[in-house]
Structure 1
Amino acid sequence: MVSGQGWNEERKQQQQEAVVLTKPLMVEGDSDVDYRTPNLVQRILSLFKNVRPGSDLTGFQLPPSFNYPKSQLQMYGESVYCAGKDMLGECSSSGKGDALERFTRVVGWSISTNRPAIFGVAPYNPVLGETHHVSSRSLNVRLEQVSHHPPATALHATDRIRGIDMLWFHRPIPRFHGTRVEVEVQGKRRLKLVEHGETYVMNSPNLTIKFIPPSVDWTGTVRVSCQETGYEAELNYATSSFLGRWSSSNNSVTGRIYKTAAAASPPSSPPSGDEHDNSVVKIKDQNGGGERVIYNAKEVASRLKAPILKDPQNVLPTESASVWSEVSRAIMSRNWEKAKDAKRAVEEAQRELANARSSRGEIWAPKYFAPSKGDDEPCEYSPLEALVPPAPIVVPS
C-alpha cells in the first residue's frame, strides 16, 4: 500500500521525467554533446534530392538525426530569457531624458536575439497549440504556436518590476535553392518600455543556410523604430563569404541610427552609426563622440544555464519540453529508431486531434492569443492577458 505522501512523491517524479530541458545554444556551440551526424553535408543534400529549387519547405519534416533536442518555441524563448548579460533589463534602466541611450540599448538587445545556430541540426517544428512558459527573475515569458499552415509563433513577455512588455510574432518561410535554404522570417516585434512611454517596433533578419561551404548566417535588413522619440535604425546583415570559416557563422552587420523629422519631442543627443565584427558590435558617434561596444556575443550567449522545473504539477501537457520529451530523450541517447517512433507518435497524435475537430465542426483557436484588431497593430496576434504569470519552469539565478 502506498501512502498519500509516497504517491505524491511518485507522481512528482513522473511529472519531472515527462519534461526534458536542455542547455541553450551558446556562441561556442554545445560543449557537452555534438548532435551532428557523420557525412553531414552529403546526408543533408540527399534529403533534398527530390525537392525542386524554389520549393516551399514549410511542411518538410527532418529525420530526428537532424534535430536538436529542442522545439523552435524554446529557441525563440531562450533568445529572450537566457542571457549572460541582461541587455533587455538595461533597455529600461537609463534616465528618462536619455532617449538616444535607450534606443541604442534596444538596438543592441535586438542584435543579441539573433543567436548563433549550429549547421546541420534544427529544432522541432512546433505542433499547433504547443506552448512554452518560462520565468527568469521578474521576467515571465510565454509562447504559443498559433498557426500550423503556415506555421506561426506568438510570444508575450512581461516584467512588472522593470516595466517591460514585449510582443513577438514569427512566421518563418523556408525555401530550397539548390545549394542553400533561405528562410524568410515574417512578423514584427513590439517592445514597450512602460515607464518611459516608448514603444519600439522591429522586424527580424532572415536565415541563410549554405551547404557549400557549410554555414548558417543571418541576412537581410532589420529596421527598428520608436515613434515617440523619432529615432530609427537600419541594420544590414551580410552572409559569410565563400572563404568563411568551415561549419561556422561569420556574419557581419553594418548600419546606422538616425532621428526622423517626425519626433514628438526631439532629444538633443546626436545620431550614431554602428559596425559589427562577427561577435562584437561597436557604435560610433558621427559627431566625434567616440566609440563603444553595444553588443558582445560572449557576454550575452556564454555560460548559459538550462531552465529547471520548479513546479511539475503546473506544467501544461502542451508545454514544449513535455510534448517532445520522449523524442529529446532518445536523441540525447542517440537512439535514432526510438526517436523516429516517438516523433511519429507526436505527429500522429496531432493528426488525430485535427481529424476529431474536423468531425465535430470545430475551429481551433489559440489559448493565449487572438488575431489583432486594426491595421495599425504591428503584430498579427495580441495576448489575451495583460500580464504573463510566473511559470513552473524557471531559469536559475
Structure 2
Amino acid sequence: MVSKENEDEHEAVLTAPLALEGGLAAEYRQPNVLQQVFGLFRGIRPGTDLTNFQLPPLFNMPKSQLQCYGEAVYCIGEDYLKKCARGKNKFDRFTSVVAWCISSARPLIFGLTPFNPILGETHHVSRGTLNVFVEQISHHPPVSALHATDTEENIEFIACQNPRPKFYGTGVEAVIHGKRQLKLLNFNESYEMESPNLLIKILPFPSSDWTGNVSIRCKDSGLEANVSFGESRSFFGLRGNPRSVKGKIVNSKTSKTIYEIDGQWDRVVELKDTKSGKGRVLYDAKLGITKLKTPSVKDPKGLWATESAVVWAEVSQAILKNDWGKAKEAKKNIEERERRLRRERNSRGEAWVSKHFRVATTKEGDWDCWPIERLVPPAPIAVSP
C-alpha cells in the first residue's frame, strides 16, 4: 500500500515498511537487478570506501535511509519497547531490552538500498504515545541522529548512526558506527548498545544479512549482554546460519553467565536460565515484524519540506511506476540542488548546523549527538498501534 498525500505546498509518498511477511518486498515488485548488481561493481577495487558512491535509481527502494531507521522503532507488531518499561525487575527489563534490540533487525531486499538522505533531511512519525524524530546531521560522511520519547511509558531513545560501507571483492560490508542509548526513566536505568553490521554478498550466492557482535550494557543494573548476529560461513557459503542470534547475559561485576541466548532473528530466539536450566521464548519474529502497517499523513499542513516522504516523493513515485527516466531526472535534481547549496555555504564561509541536535566528533572520527529538545512532539505522520 502506498500512501500519497496531496497538499498545495508538499506531497508525501509513504511506502510499506520492511517486514518479514508482506511489507515493501511483497508490495513493490522490483525488476530483476542481479545482472545489474554484477555490472555495477565491475571495476571497483576491493577495499574501496563506498560512502560517496552514487547509485542509479534502479538500485533504490522507494524510501530514505531515515525512514528505515525510524521504522525499526515505530513499526512493530508486538510492542517490545513497552515491555522494557513494564518489567517487574531488572532482569525482566534487561531481557526485554535485548529482545527489542533484536527486533530492530529487519529483512533486507537484495539489490536495493534506500536513498542516501540529504543534509538536514528529517523524518517525524508517531505511534500512539511514542514520537520518533530523525535528522540527517551530516552528508559526507553520512550520519543520522534519532530521538524518540514516550511520555506514557517514560521512555527516551537516542541514536547516532554512521554507516561506513566498503567493497571487498565478493560483497559489501557496512560497519554501523555510533551508539544507541535507551533510557527507562521510571527506573533511572540507561542501556547502551551498538548496531549489527550489514553484509551484502554478491558471490558465491547473492544475499543481504546482518552480522557482527552487539554489546548491550546497563551500568545501573550491573547487567551486560553480548549478542552475535550470523554465524561465520566458509568462502563458498556452505556452513553456518546467516540469520542466527547467539549470546549470553552476564553479571558485569562477576562475569557470571545468567542467561544464554540462541535462535534466529527472523524466527524465534530463546532465553535459557543457566541456573535452573529452564528456557522460554525471548523474541518471536512472527509476532514482532510481520504484516507491519504503513504510516499515513494525519496532518498535511504539519509536513515540513525537509520530511523524507516529501523530499523523495517524486523519485519514489517514479520508481513505483518503473519510470526510470523520470526517477533519474528527479534524483539528479535533488543532488544538484544539494551541491549548489553546499557551494553557496562554502562561498559565505558558513558551516551547516543541525537545528535539532547538538553534535560532536572525536579525533578518531566517531560521531555523537544529543537532542536539543527534551521531548519529541506528536508528528504529522502516524502509524496505527
TM-score (norm 2): 0.92
Distance 1:317 1:16 in 2: 8
**Aligned partner letter, 1:296:** D
Residue 180 of structure 1 and its aligned partner are, at CA, apart by 0.7
In structure 2, the partner of 1:73 is 66
| CA contact 1:16–1:309 (8 Å) conserved in 2 | no
In structure 1, the partner of 2:340 is 352
In structure 2, the partner of 1:266 is none
In structure 2, the partner of 1:271 is 258
1:373/1:252 CA distance change after superposition, 3 Å: closer
In structure 2, the partner of 1:382 is 370
In structure 1, the partner of 2:97 is 106
Report SS of the residue matched to 1:20. strand
In structure 2, the partner of 1:313 is 301
Residue 14 of structure 1 and its aligned partner are, at CA, apart by 2.7
| CA contact 1:217–1:239 (8 Å) conserved in 2 | no
1:240/1:24 CA distance change after superposition, 3 Å: farther
Residue 121 of structure 1 and its aligned partner are, at CA, apart by 0.5
In structure 2, the partner of 1:117 is 108
In structure 2, the partner of 1:324 is 312
Aligned residue among 225, 228, 234 for 1:233: 225
| CA contact 2:137–2:354 (8 Å) conserved in 1 | yes
Residue 149 of structure 1 and its aligned partner are, at CA, apart by 1.2
Report SS of the residue matched to 1:391. coil
RMSD (CA atoms): 2.2
Max Rg structure: 1
Residue 379 of structure 1 and its aligned partner are, at CA, apart by 6.9
1:261/1:94 CA distance change after superposition, 3 Å: same
Any idea what the Cα deviations from partners look like across 1:148-199, whole Å, max 9, x if unmatched?
A: 1111000000011101000011000000011110111000000000001100
**Aligned partner letter, 2:96:** R
Residue 336 of structure 1 and its aligned partner are, at CA, apart by 0.4
| CA contact 1:171–1:187 (8 Å) conserved in 2 | yes
1:339/1:244 CA distance change after superposition, 3 Å: farther
Moved more, 42-51 or 340-349: 42-51
1:373/1:358 CA distance change after superposition, 3 Å: closer
1:366 aligns with 2:354: yes
Distance 1:305 1:240 in 2: 34
**Aligned partner letter, 1:152:** V
1:183 aligns with 2:174: yes
| CA contact 2:248–2:257 (8 Å) conserved in 1 | no
Distance 2:55 2:8 in 1: 28
**Aligned partner letter, 2:251:** K
Distance 1:166 1:17 in 2: 29
Residue 270 of structure 1 and its aligned partner are, at CA, apart by 7.8
1:257 aligns with 2:249: yes
Any idea what the Cα deviations from partners look like across 1:7-64, whole Å, max 9, x if unmatched?
A: xxxxx843597100001011135222222x22x3321121111211000000111111
1:17/1:243 CA distance change after superposition, 3 Å: farther
The number of residue pairs the alignment matches comes to: 372
| CA contact 2:143–2:161 (8 Å) conserved in 1 | yes
In structure 1, the partner of 2:55 is 62
Report SS of the residue matched to 1:27. coil
Report SS of the residue matched to 1:31. helix
| CA contact 1:16–1:312 (8 Å) conserved in 2 | no
1:288 aligns with 2:280: no
In structure 2, the partner of 1:162 is 153
Which runs of 5 or more residues in structure 1 are unaligned?
1-11, 264-268
TM-score (norm 1): 0.89
**Aligned partner letter, 2:245:** V
Which runs of 5 or more residues in structure 2 are unaligned?
none
Distance 2:325 2:238 in 1: 37
Percentage of matched positions with identical amino acids: 47
| CA contact 2:211–2:228 (8 Å) conserved in 1 | yes
**Aligned partner letter, 1:257:** I
Aligned residue among 9, 12, 28 for 1:19: 12
In structure 2, the partner of 1:130 is 121
Report SS of the residue matched to 2:111. coil
1:139 aligns with 2:110: no
Moved more, 295-304 or 78-87: 295-304
Distance 1:148 1:373 in 2: 14
| CA contact 1:15–1:313 (8 Å) conserved in 2 | no
Residue 94 of structure 1 and its aligned partner are, at CA, apart by 1.6
1:57/1:239 CA distance change after superposition, 3 Å: farther
Distance 2:97 2:9 in 1: 36
Distance 2:102 2:61 in 1: 23
In structure 1, the partner of 2:26 is 31
